Chain A
């Protein structure tokens, strides 16, 4: 899976840091506030505040910079293209560059930089969440945060369980896929030659056995869960307790201040 090596969103990096120790609920809340309000105002003060917040969070998390840069390569291309798009498409302000068919306006330059910066901050914050939180804590946090939705009959416990089972089976299924690929190659299948269409078609002999096996697994797992007394979320206790500490209230408080600031600069 070479192509996933350069995407770090969704991977967990164990470190002993303040951010790692934060309650997953607080981290989720903070990220939610950040995403919603980052795009509310484009006042320089707000952006500066956002940069400071993200930078501090990153430094506190003790994630190695090199690891992060390596993982951001793919995202950087995406951000760069967004920048270019805004650069060329915006026709406001004064002309900065005029060269044959190409004209760049100052408005485009500013707009492009704003978008690029915000996207970068957003992705940095989002990846920090998964880099510093184990998947199991993340699902726990989500389950707890979604609890109020139970009133409108959202099956929060089931959703969380589904997520955690999915996470648990990703490595198992990846292993299985590579086994099937090898088995089909041993039978003469070729996955790297021919047109795009032929290559796509050659995936069918991988996908079908994978699906069949997954259904078998699902059935086995369902029986095993039943045998272990699983009967839905009612009357269940939890092995993991989340503990909300001062640190978490502080972080959430800080981001609420940020949110208010964006609103103030936007509407006042």
Chain B
């Protein structure tokens, strides 16, 4: 498997004398993976995301995105066409006054010819279930719809990587589900690599792999099951385990025999049912 992204020995500070915001980050992301970068507020995770599409350039070390070095200024436009990004605040990333114009924005920048652009815009809008909203103004959309517009704009560029920088943190539970389901769909159908940056452990559960960032350093790496079950270690990074895991741990403390591998909500419910039947 090839690597879509590799970060080597990345150090970063905003200017000389300033303390390092990111310290010695090593990271590789293979094609088609869903990687979640988990960290509390101020852990440097959003800063890290900006290196993937050359919005920031490392002070030391290097970042290779889709085979291109982000230090090479001439490659920036190419990198940004391959690595699309969805940001946190849905209101602050929609540029154009209507949905279709906004989806087209990235394509316009890339100089895609008219006919192809039309086709790509409408197919992206349809893929993300926004049909019928083409000429709507952004302020009349819900948060989840706005983030789907941003995703449609990203998808229209046919990127290899989509970076979600806390893309669901300002959404209500319905909006969050809606957006994550779409991301999952894109990952499976288009084989797009997903890198999601979040502090939300429940969102991290659906990833293939998690890395935990604390004070600018990568402290943990593993599958969601490995990482998220260890409440003690997570606490050291100012995070806490998902609710289902916490309940299971708490029950065990009170000598309720719950299976060790309880992870998702569904598994917790099953475990509780089994427990009730056996006792």
Which A residues lie at the B interface, using CB under 8 A? 135-136, 164-165, 167-168, 171-172, 175, 216-217, 220-221, 223-231, 235-241
Cβ-defined partner of B109 (8 Å) among A164, A172, A175, A236 = A236
Asked if B106 contacts A171 (CB within 8 A), the reply is no
The answer to the question of B97 belonging to the interface, with a C-beta cut-off of 8 Å to chain A, is: yes
Specify which chain A residues have a CB less than 8 angstroms from the CB of B55 in the assembled complex: 223, 226-227
Nearest first, the 3 closest Cβ-Cβ pairs linking A and B are A220-B92, A239-B104, A224-B93
Known interface pairs A167-B97, A217-B89; 7 further A-B residue pairs with C-beta atoms within 8 A, sorted by A's residue number: A168-B96, A171-B137, A175-B139, A220-B92, A224-B85, A228-B105, A237-B111
The answer to the question of B98 belonging to the interface, with a C-beta cut-off of 8 Å to chain A, is: yes
The answer to the question of B4 belonging to the interface, with a C-beta cut-off of 8 Å to chain A, is: no
Specify which chain A residues have a CB less than 8 angstroms from the CB of B221 in the assembled complex: none
Interface centre among B91, B117, B121 (most CB of A within 10 A): B91
Asked if B97 contacts A135 (CB within 8 A), the reply is yes
Asked if A224 contacts B87 (CB within 8 A), the reply is yes
CB distance from A210 to the nearest CB of B (A): 14
The residue of chain B having its C-beta at the shortest distance from the C-beta of A238 within the complex is B108
Cβ-defined partner of B80 (8 Å) among A220, A229, A236 = A229
Asked whether A238 and B114 contact (CB < 8 A) given A220-B87, A228-B105, the answer is yes
Asked whether A229 and B81 contact (CB < 8 A) given A223-B87, A240-B101, the answer is yes
CB distance from B188 to the nearest CB of A (A): 24
The answer to the question of B112 belonging to the interface, with a C-beta cut-off of 8 Å to chain A, is: yes
Cβ-defined partner of B111 (8 Å) among A165, A224, A235, A240 = A235
Asked if B97 contacts A236 (CB within 8 A), the reply is no
Asked if B118 contacts A228 (CB within 8 A), the reply is no
Asked if A239 contacts B97 (CB within 8 A), the reply is no
The answer to the question of B107 belonging to the interface, with a C-beta cut-off of 8 Å to chain A, is: yes
Specify which chain B residues have a CB less than 8 angstroms from the CB of A164 in the assembled complex: 96-97
Specify which chain A residues have a CB less than 8 angstroms from the CB of B138 in the assembled complex: 168, 172
Interface size on B, residues (CB 8 A): 39
The answer to the question of B28 belonging to the interface, with a C-beta cut-off of 8 Å to chain A, is: no
Specify which chain A residues have a CB less than 8 angstroms from the CB of B98 in the assembled complex: 136
CB distance from A14 to the nearest CB of B (A): 10
Specify which chain A residues have a CB less than 8 angstroms from the CB of B85 in the assembled complex: 224, 227-228
Asked if B106 contacts A168 (CB within 8 A), the reply is no
Asked if B109 contacts A229 (CB within 8 A), the reply is yes
The residue of chain A having its C-beta at the shortest distance from the C-beta of B153 within the complex is A228
The answer to the question of B95 belonging to the interface, with a C-beta cut-off of 8 Å to chain A, is: yes
The answer to the question of B77 belonging to the interface, with a C-beta cut-off of 8 Å to chain A, is: yes
The residue of chain B having its C-beta at the shortest distance from the C-beta of A139 within the complex is B97
Asked if A239 contacts B121 (CB within 8 A), the reply is yes
The residue of chain A having its C-beta at the shortest distance from the C-beta of B150 within the complex is A224
Asked if B101 contacts A231 (CB within 8 A), the reply is no
Asked whether A237 and B96 contact (CB < 8 A) given A220-B87, A228-B80, A231-B109, the answer is no
Specify which chain A residues have a CB less than 8 angstroms from the CB of B92 in the assembled complex: 216-217, 220-221, 224
CB distance from A266 to the nearest CB of B (A): 42
> Roughly how many angstroms separate A231 CA and B73 CA in the complex, as a whole number?
13
CB distance from B89 to the nearest CB of A (A): 6
Asked whether A237 and B94 contact (CB < 8 A) given A226-B55, A227-B85, A228-B153, the answer is no
Asked whether A237 and B118 contact (CB < 8 A) given A164-B97, A225-B95, the answer is no
> Roughly how many angstroms separate A73 CA and B182 CA in the complex, as a whole number?
49
> Roughly how many angstroms separate A107 CA and B142 CA in the complex, as a whole number?
60
30 A-B residue contacts at CB 8 Å?
A136-B96, A164-B96, A164-B97, A167-B97, A171-B139, A216-B92, A217-B91, A220-B87, A220-B92, A221-B93, A221-B95, A223-B50, A223-B87, A224-B87, A226-B55, A228-B84, A228-B85, A228-B106, A228-B109, A229-B80, A230-B109, A231-B109, A237-B107, A237-B112, A237-B114, A239-B101, A239-B104, A239-B107, A239-B108, A239-B121
